[in-house]
Structure 1
């Protein structure tokens, strides 16, 4: 299937309409959308390649052919779900995909913030603060008199920027009120601040907001920790390949963002993300990388969600959205630009951060968490990194960083 998908991608990029149609016909007749995990994976890539043809993305100049496979695009639309807070909290607990990062990050944050009277958490999270209640609980039980918490989140304008799943069905002001109420129930005083800022410009507004706060603290005796919690969000900041085919000077917004963070002298930066490389400007290279990484969510879903369940539909729709964004679009429309741990390590060190080793207690905690899930999940340590694995393949990396 991968070989045929690669051939199809090559045909699309060279505008060989006949070959592309022939391969799509073969694939469509051998990969039922409700088949096994490999067939569902391939079906998602077929949909993405077809979308690329219909939208004439990149070098694709094909005209729509008199072919039902291309003209009947009624099944191409991906219906992502708008989660309630309760639904999303339950949903992320189904798999270690996010829980692994939560567990590692919370452990590092708790260790780094001992003795502070105020903990300022800047939460750049794909999962809309779902990690925070567990962290509040841990902070509440750690000290006789819990420190105060400030929680700052970046909110993008959904009318301007591409909505990235998972989607939430309430505003951040409403979410903030729920989190403040939860903290109060744990005898923790918490302030919530939503800052209008976006990945598209490297969270420039957020950085400026934090810079002003840090300057104000210089004249204040408050003993405040600054925690930057990055959970699968930084890979949406544009990286170098976005500018390769534009008449724009190559700029590394990711590196600029990290350098700006370093200037804030944070107490700790936690970085959790997917360990893959989907940044290539070459479609075929990107397709191979995506295919050899995104088989994992399709393979794992069989272990925790039954076929036909609404939760499974939500889960696979979000994965399909990612595949479509990686394959069907270019330029600023292609926001899924995942980089692996090696590249992020290089970026962090270049920005003058040093890695922090996770504690042995954390490895015991992670093992206990994974024991709640299917056989096949595992973890390993590589230098300062902790990695989540599925059947021995790297899935997610977790890392913690201090200013050098």
Structure 2
């Protein structure tokens, strides 16, 4: 398996190739890996925004807003659809897939798409990236909150599709002043090679195993897919500090981090689970979904793949 992945990495370098919008959409559509999150998140968002006239969505995602058209379609079906404000961080060159289109152009396409669905959409890019915890983006959100908090008609939604695990581990520090970055980030402690190999295998064997069910050997799409897996494995094993952007960590650890940040989990309803199951019917057999307490888990041949959670401030 490692030899096959090495060959894929050599033949197509995914960390230098730029994808068109169509190529990116096709790449994301290969498996339900991302669409599982899209579907679960959309269901949670629709429930959370009920009664609001303005919806501010901050989209943190490596898939370049590929979720947004499906969310706009869902919002368009609401009675008197709210105005949507969409904020995204600047394009990161640190992890694939990379887009060959400026985010301003992508935003124009999304605005036009929303208009065709009778939804008013505002699009904004904030120069920011994962390496410093999206500090510039957070500062902008603080400023906007001061402007909109008084009227109480704007809902703020943080949509994080496969992005939180890219943020470096934080060590909390006192803030010298109000304009400082909320956290300082330091490289993680030295790790043993055996531990990283185990983490990489326990998680990343799954996407490699699924490839035989939907892509023929030798196809360009399969080579891109395998090259992406290879990039992740190499990044987990060979990189440290800010250069290691793939952080394979347990669900329980992320749950505790959210609770430490004073958030509480909210339940996904049966309708959300049904929508995920319907989406999985469009993919090859072997994929499944299960409910685990408040959360939804995507499975492959009975093995847990990724999970979806929804959170609100603990004081809400």
Do they superpose with TM above 0.5?
yes
Q: Which residue of 2 aligns with 1:327?
A: 237
Q: Which residue of 1 aligns with 2:48?
A: 112
Q: Which residue of 2 aligns with 1:370?
A: 280
1:194-205 maps to which residues of 2 (within 5 A)? 194-205=125-136
1:155/1:198 contact within 8 Å kept: yes
The 1:156–1:129 alpha-carbon spacing in structure 2 relative to 1, beyond 3 Å, is closer
Q: Which residue of 2 aligns with 1:272?
A: none
Q: Which residue of 1 aligns with 2:206?
A: 296
Matching of residue 126 in structure 1 with residue 36 in structure 2: no
Q: What is the alpha-carbon distance in structure 1 between the residues aligned to residue 159 and residue 149 of structure 2?
A: 22
Q: Which residue of 1 aligns with 2:307?
A: 397
2:288/2:298 contact within 8 Å kept: yes
2:5/2:226 contact within 8 Å kept: no
2:19/2:100 contact within 8 Å kept: yes
Q: What is the alpha-carbon distance in structure 2 between the residues aligned to residue 386 and residue 108 of structure 1?
A: 11
User: What value does the CA root-mean-square deviation take over the aligned residues?
Assistant: 2.3
Q: Which residue of 1 aligns with 2:143?
A: 212
The 1:387–1:279 alpha-carbon spacing in structure 2 relative to 1, beyond 3 Å, is farther
Structure 1 unaligned segments of length 5 or more: list them.
1-38, 49-74, 241-250, 257-262, 264-277
Q: Which residue of 2 aligns with 1:33?
A: none
The structure whose Rg is larger is 1
2:8/2:223 contact within 8 Å kept: no
Q: What is the alpha-carbon distance in structure 2 between the residues aligned to residue 47 and residue 83 of structure 1?
A: 17
Matching of residue 179 in structure 1 with residue 110 in structure 2: yes
* Corresponding residue pairs, total: 301
**Could you tell me the TM-score, scaled by structure 1's length?**
0.70
Q: Which residue of 1 aligns with 2:26?
A: 90
1:239/1:252 contact within 8 Å kept: no
Q: What is the alpha-carbon distance in structure 1 between the residues aligned to residue 160 and residue 283 of structure 2?
A: 24
Q: What is the alpha-carbon distance in structure 2 between the residues aligned to residue 122 and residue 294 of structure 1?
A: 28
1:120/1:224 contact within 8 Å kept: yes
**Could you tell me the TM-score, scaled by structure 2's length?**
0.89
Aligned-pair CA distance for 1:43: 4.3
Q: What is the alpha-carbon distance in structure 1 between the residues aligned to residue 197 and residue 280 of structure 2?
A: 30
